[in-house]
Amino acid sequence: MKKRKSKRIGLKPLIIILTLFFMSSQAFALSDEDCMECHGDQDLTTEVEGKTINLYVDYEIFKDTIHSENGCVSCHEEADVEEGEDHPMPMSSVSCGNCHEEVSDTYTKSLHGVARMEAGDLLAPKCYDCHSKHAILPPSDKRSATYPLNVPTTCGKCHREGSQMNKLHNIEEHNIVANYTMSTHGKGLYVDGLIVTAVCSSCHTPHNIQVPDDPNSTVNRDHINETCSQCHVGIAEKFKKSVHSPLITKTDKKLPVCIDCHTSHTISRVDRKDFRQVISNQCSNCHEHESETYFETYHGRAGLLKGGEKAAKCSDCHGSHDILPSSSPNSKIHEENIVATCAPCHPNATPNFTEYLTHATHNDKEKYPELFYAFWAMTGLLVGTFSFFGLHTLLWIPRSMIERLKKIKGKH
Ligand code: HEC
Ligand code: HEC
Ligand code: HEC
Ligand code: HEC
Ligand code: HEC
Ligand code: HEC
Ligand code: HEC
Ligand code: HEC
Ligand code: HEC
Ligand code: HEC
Ligand code: HEC
């Protein structure tokens, strides 16, 4: 779970800062101005392993950032040499963890951290790939790469289709960034400017990103309900009381979680015309039997025709986050409530009308014996009748042909 307010910065950095503050008032240490005398030169470059690296730093940008007070040497400790001396080359890389211990510990154990720090995958992000080197601003600042509006672009640098990372890594799901942008959350963000909507890091966390199969991942099946519920609090409360909640139903079967019905990156508004149809297919994935019988009834068949979106879909009768078995008095299909469930579409519905069996099928002897036997009795009668008259007709054909031939011959 993310903790926005946790800015615990260890004692060590405090000492460093105080020491630096103390030292900066001494004449012999290099000040930011000293660094800029050389690093303010746009043409200052160096060669590292055959690659030319630009060493220019834009001080106008840096002096506005969260670390401007700390100064250059708070991060580049080895550059803290005496005046007149050259700083060493090369220097070890900056360790943000010196001051951001907690974040750094989390990151080191994350998928990105392990890939970069342990497996040496240069395509996996270090702190500065998401935060920048010299333009670091708090996530609440509109100009920050970690401001909600900018997060999909920051992750998208690597996770969009066609990026070098995406080409070289075999990540199963495709078009994640484009799909997210078209989803209800993406539209909320970009069209409505809603920064409280879900961005990549709201579901994945910024620093504890793991593969979905990892039991510690916030997007793992076991945690996804909590993750969505950070924002959709009311729905989670309802859902906990439904037959699909593990708190209510103890079963070895797979109980649905938010993304089984809504997906992850292609979540749509629920008032979209096609949503109820799509969701019925999701219910059918787990309730095969009921969905087969549903498609044999009026609503199921009408639903397949043009304009069929008006016909009742699973969720119209069963509800969504409050689904309960018909035996439960709070169920929408309990006999006390069923008239009200049909009424929005059948205003004249009466208890009699609701006796229409929604899942009724002649194939289910256990549940609907009347239908089963009636079906087979009718079918038997039909088959019997057709067989008798069929045979009768068949036997008649040669006879009637002979009669016709006789008549034709007689005429000649
Ligand atoms: C006299 C000029 C000069 C000053 C002053 C100076 N630098 Fe440099 N800096 C350089 C040069 C030149 C290089 C490239 C050296 C090379 O190619 O071997 C460099 C390289 C660097 C690098 C890259 C290190 C690496 O391993 O790639 C960093 C970081 C850096 N300087 C930070 C600083 C900081 C911070 C200060 C102030 C405390 C500072 N420099 C002051 C000239 C200077
Ligand atoms: C918040 C930490 C931080 C501060 C403060 C900071 N830097 Fe850096 N700097 C970095 C990081 C991270 C890198 C990337 C290389 C690395 O990890 O060592 C970097 C790289 C550099 C480089 C190498 C060129 C490059 O872009 O990779 C130079 C030169 C440099 N910094 C100079 C400065 C100067 C001059 C200042 C002060 C005006 C400064 N830095 C302040 C974090 C910082
Ligand atoms: C994959 C991108 C990514 C990487 C890598 C990353 N961050 Fe972040 N970081 C973010 C995002 C996005 C936020 C804003 C999160 C939010 O508001 O929920 C953030 C927030 C922060 C914050 C402020 C909020 C907090 O949690 O305290 C700090 C400090 C921070 N990061 C430091 C670091 C450090 C240090 C590293 C490296 C050890 C690092 N980050 C690596 C994306 C990243
Ligand atoms: C010398 C100590 C030090 C180092 C090294 C350092 N920081 Fe910071 N950082 C700070 C301090 C102090 C703050 C201000 C904390 C505050 O305002 O709560 C800060 C604030 C931040 C914030 C904004 C946090 C917020 O809650 O708004 C981010 C993001 C951040 N640092 C990222 C980094 C990254 C990334 C690096 C490495 C490139 C880094 N820091 C290196 C001391 C440091
Ligand atoms: C600098 C490039 C880069 C950035 C920026 C980046 N990632 Fe990644 N990401 C990677 C790489 C590389 C991997 C694959 C690591 C591995 O499997 O070894 C990865 C893996 C992942 C995975 C697991 C994929 C899987 O295989 O199941 C998720 C989830 C993820 N990243 C989310 C994010 C989010 C969210 C952000 C933004 C906050 C982000 N990433 C930013 C490079 C990046
Ligand atoms: C509303 C929550 C949510 C948001 C927002 C979100 N994700 Fe995901 N993401 C998930 C879930 C849940 C999964 C697990 C996959 C699944 O089962 O559908 C996932 C899986 C992934 C994976 C791994 C895919 C794989 O095949 O292993 C990557 C990479 C990823 N997301 C990146 C991103 C990026 C980048 C963004 C922002 C553009 C983002 N996600 C936004 C919930 C979200
Ligand atoms: C069994 C399938 C299913 C599951 C699981 C599910 N939903 Fe829904 N959800 C639906 C249906 C169906 C609707 C449309 C309800 C309607 O039209 O009245 C819906 C509607 C919504 C809405 C729109 C508001 C509303 O109530 O109409 C949100 C937000 C939502 N769901 C979030 C969630 C979250 C968060 C979770 C996980 C805690 C979740 N859903 C789990 C089926 C499901
Ligand atoms: C950071 C907060 C946040 C998180 C986390 C989040 N959502 Fe949302 N969600 C929102 C907001 C805000 C909206 C309204 C956005 C809009 O419609 O423009 C929304 C809209 C929706 C809608 C459409 C509602 C409608 O009225 O049609 C659904 C469905 C939904 N979210 C499901 C999910 C699911 C499933 C997850 C987890 C995988 C999730 N959300 C995670 C904030 C969040
Ligand atoms: C991921 C699989 C899954 C999905 C998707 C799913 N369900 Fe279920 N559902 C279950 C499980 C497991 C039970 C627990 C009872 C059982 O063992 O069959 C259950 C129970 C029920 C019950 C009560 C059944 C009884 O006999 O007590 C109803 C009604 C129901 N679901 C309707 C729906 C509807 C409507 C949808 C779609 C909006 C849906 N389900 C989506 C797995 C699922
Ligand atoms: C017109 C309303 C209606 C529609 C549409 C509908 N059902 Fe039902 N469903 C019922 C009623 C009423 C019952 C209880 C009587 C029965 O078993 O026929 C029931 C029973 C069930 C049961 C057994 C639960 C129990 O408590 O006995 C499941 C599971 C179920 N339906 C799933 C589905 C699925 C999945 C769909 C969509 C493919 C669907 N239903 C569509 C009305 C409906
Ligand atoms: C979301 C709307 C909706 C709900 C809820 C709904 N139906 Fe229907 N139903 C329809 C539509 C649309 C038709 C097709 C009507 C037509 O063609 O005149 C239909 C047709 C029928 C028919 C056959 C035609 C007729 O009017 O006699 C029966 C029987 C029926 N529904 C029973 C039920 C029962 C029982 C319930 C409640 C358990 C129910 N329906 C709930 C939309 C709904």
Cβ of residue 315 lying under 6 Å from some atom of ligand 7: yes
Residue 1 banded pLDDT, cuts 50, 70, 90: very low
Mean local confidence (pLDDT), 120-126: 97
Q: What does the pLDDT read at residue 68? A: 95
Pocket test for ligand 4, best of 15, 62, 66 (most atoms within 8 A of CB): 66
Q: What mean pLDDT is predicted for residues 208-237? A: 97
Measured distance CA(241)–CA(237) in Å, rounded:
7
Quick: pLDDT tens for 171-197.
999 999 999 999 999 999 999 999 999
Q: Whose CA is nearest to atom 18 of ligand 8?
A: 188
Residue 31 CA to residue 38 CA, distance in Å, equals 12
CA of 291 relative to ligand 8 center, distance in Å = 28
Whether 15 and 65 have beta carbons less than 8 Å apart is answered as no
> CA-based diameter of the chain, in Å?
139
Residue 222 pLDDT > 90? yes
Pocket of ligand 9, candidates 244, 278, 315, 326: which has the most ligand atoms within 8 Å of its Cβ, to mutate? 244
Residue 230's pLDDT is 97
For residues 402 and 392, the answer to whether their CB atoms sit within 8 Å is no
pLDDT band at 30 (very low <50, low <70, confident <90, very high): confident
Q: How large a percentage of the chain has pLDDT more than 70? A: 86
pLDDT (tens digit per residue) in 356-411? 776 755 556 676 666 566 666 666 666 767 777 777 778 788 888 888 888 877 66
pLDDT computed for residue 205 by the predictor? 98
Closest atom of ligand 5 to 119 CA is 18
Residue 384: CA count within 13 A, CB half-sphere: 6
Q: State the ligand closest to the CA atom of 81.
A: 1
Please determine, for residue 327, whether its predicted confidence score (pLDDT) is greater than 90.
yes
Average pLDDT in the chain: 89
| Residue ranges around ligand 5 (CB below 6 Å) | 111-112, 115, 121, 123-125, 129-130, 151, 154-155, 157-159, 165, 169, 171, 200-201, 204, 206, 209, 211-212
Nearest CA to ligand 10 atom 36: 314
More confident position, 247 or 276: 247
Find the ligand nearest to 93 CA: 2
The whole-number pLDDT of residue 297 equals 85
- Which residue would you say has higher pLDDT here, 331 or 85? 331
Minimum-distance ligand 10 atom for the alpha carbon of 356: 12
Distance of alpha carbon 116 from alpha carbon 110, whole angstroms: 10
406 or 236, which is more confident: 236
Confirm whether pTM is higher than 0.75: yes
Residue type (1 letter), 29: A
Q: What mean pLDDT comes out for the span 124-134?
A: 98
Please state the atom number of ligand 11 nearest to the C-alpha of residue 356: 35
Nearest CA among 289, 288, 294, 285 for reference residue 316: 294
Say how many Å lie between the CA of residue 172 and the centre of ligand 6.
Answer: 11
Q: Whose CA is nearest to atom 27 of ligand 7?
A: 270
The pLDDT value recorded for residue 10 is 58
CB 111 within 8 A of CB 209: yes
pLDDT over 60 (residue 7): no
CB 314 within 8 A of CB 283: yes
**Confidence tier at 298 by pLDDT (50, 70, 90):** confident
Q: Give the CA dihedral 136, 140, 142, 144, nearest 10 degrees.
A: 20
pLDDT of residue 405: 81
Minimum CA distance residue for ligand 8 atom 42: 197
The whole-angstrom separation of Cα 92 and Cα 101 is 18
Per-residue pLDDT at 23 exceeds 70: no
**CA separation for the pair 302, 358 (Å, rounded):** 13
Higher pLDDT, 198 or 375: 198
- 8 Å CB contact between 355 and 320: no
190 CB less than 6 Å from ligand 4?
no
